[in-house]
Amino acid sequence: MPTSIESQALQEDLVRLRREIHRDPELGLDLPRTRRRVLDALAGLPLEVAVGREIGSVTAVLRGGRPGPAVLLRGDMDALPLAELTGVDYAARTETMHACGHDLHTAMLVGAAHLLSRRRERLSGDVIFMFQPGEEGQDGAARMIEEGVLEAAGAPPIAAYAIHVMSARFPHGVFTTRRGAVLAGGDLLRVTVRGKGGHGSAPHLARDTIAAAAAMIGALPGLLTRTVAPQDTAVLTIGAIHAGSAGNVIPDSTEFRGTLRWHTPQIRDALRAGVSGVCRSIAHAFGVDAETHITPYVSPTVNDDAEADLVADVAAELHGPHRYQELAQPLCAGEDFSNILDRVPGAMVLLGTCPPEADPATAPDIHSPYAVFDDAILSDGASFLAELASRRLEIAASSNVIAAQVLSDTV
Ligand SMILES: [Zn+2]
């Protein structure tokens, strides 16, 4: 098995790679410089490497020395459109930042490719390394599925795993996941309210869209508490409002945008219907029109029970029992790795990476311009992914042997 000592030797290379990517972040589906760095870091390994036809993805397949099925490991590579304020010496100096830690995911996946390549002869099957662009709202996972990542090794993989680093909320160095739902499904909400503009001194002659929109935004949180059971979780956040140009002018229209997060289709459907109903009813009361658009954004990330158990075993055995904690409740963040887990049993694993001297309760969270990730964790993440893949292939090989014995006994 790839030992911690083995992976420690990779640590310096992984930190260098991660910081190069961090200094030079790229957005969306087209990541030419990041892709070049990944390809250079994989050069010389015994991999079948393919780049995306229309997107900046990299898919690499390692053929094990023994026959068997494939497992998939995924790392995303894209950054976010915000200016970094961390002050670290490898900070990006652009309007783009790796504030979600995808630079660490990329480096850990490169590390896993190195570790598994070293033990290729002993692997009972193949490993697909999925370097994904466009996780932050550009459907990168779905695009890679369209381009064939699940068939990269031949038959579809029997299991899929991904790590997401967390700059806050979770203790440093601790791997966390759970059976079932881990992350939420999400919808994008856009409501356009149209009325009749007019003079600010004569609202009775106008149809005031700001007043109507304000009533809707005020009512929606109440809908949430009356729709979702107290033991369940859901979120409804309005993050943008656009209307008006002067304090004494009633504008013709007001638009607000938000996000819905949920974990079950029942809650999703109830929220979608409730939001539309609240906006329609309030619009009616104010004599304005409301167009409500709810666009599906991401499906919930749901772990397979057995794969979540394997994650717990591997994390504890590899790095010690204190390095694994079960996630008590799913988070309301979303992840497009759900596209993979909708098709392949697997698990999404969270890894606490706030700096060791920081308090996870107050450290800046992912997506903050102040988020700092401790890259001393890279070799542990890489060895965890490598061990998870090889262990899963061993399990498949031993269950095949048992199945063959049962068959020969019965014949
Ligand atoms: Zn992310």
Q: Token pair of 235, please?
A: 């979120």
What is the chain's alpha carbon radius of gyration, rounded to the nearest angstrom? 24
Once rounded to an integer, what is the mean pLDDT over residues 236-242? 95
The answer to whether 206 and 237 have CB atoms below 8 angstroms apart is no
What's the gap in Å between 187 CA and the centre of ligand 1? Answer: 17
Q: What is the pLDDT of residues 164-199, one digit of tens each?
A: 999 999 999 999 999 999 999 999 999 999 999 999
Secondary structure class of 364 (helix, strand, coil): coil
Mention every residue, 6+ apart, whose C-beta is less than 8 A from residue 229.
none
Work out the average pLDDT over 303-326. Answer: 96
Give which of 162, 164, 129 is closest to 41, Cα–Cα: 129
Question: Is the alpha carbon torsion for 350, 384, 34, 29 positive or negative?
Answer: negative
Q: Ligand 1 mean position to 372 CA, how many Å?
A: 14
Q: How far is the centre of ligand 1, averaged over its atoms, from the C-alpha of 177 (Å)? A: 16
List the end-to-end C-alpha distance of the chain, in Å, as a whole number. Answer: 36
Q: For residue 1, is pLDDT > 60?
A: no
CA distance 48 to 172: 35
CA distance 246 to 263: 41
AA identity, residue 241: I
| 219: confidence class by pLDDT, cuts 50, 70, 90 | very high
Rounded Cα distance, 52 and 354, in Å: 33
Asked if pLDDT for residue 403 goes beyond 80, the answer is: no
Output the CA 300–ligand 1 centroid distance in Å. 14
Q: What's the predicted TM-score (pTM) here? A: 0.89
CB-based contact 161:140 (threshold 8 Å) = no
Residue 250 confidence (pLDDT): 97
Q: Of the candidates 37, 87, 36, 72, which has an alpha carbon nearest to the alpha carbon of residue 145?
A: 72
**Residue 159, beta-bridge partner list:** 71
Q: Which tokens sit at 243?
A: 């209307």
| Distance in Å, CA 335 to ligand 1 centroid | 7
Distance from Cα 296 to the centre of ligand 1, integer Å? 18
H or E stretch at 355:
none
As a whole number of angstroms, the distance between CA 43 and CA 52 comes to: 17
Instruction: List, for residues 119-163, the tens digit of each pLDDT value.
Output: 999 999 999 999 999 999 899 999 999 999 999 999 999 999 999
Q: Does 404 have pLDDT greater than 70? A: no
Asked if 187 and 298 touch (Cβ cutoff 8 Å), the reply is no
Q: What is the mean pLDDT of residues 51-65?
A: 97
41 has a pLDDT exceeding 60: yes
Joined together, the tokens standing for residue 173 give 């160095």
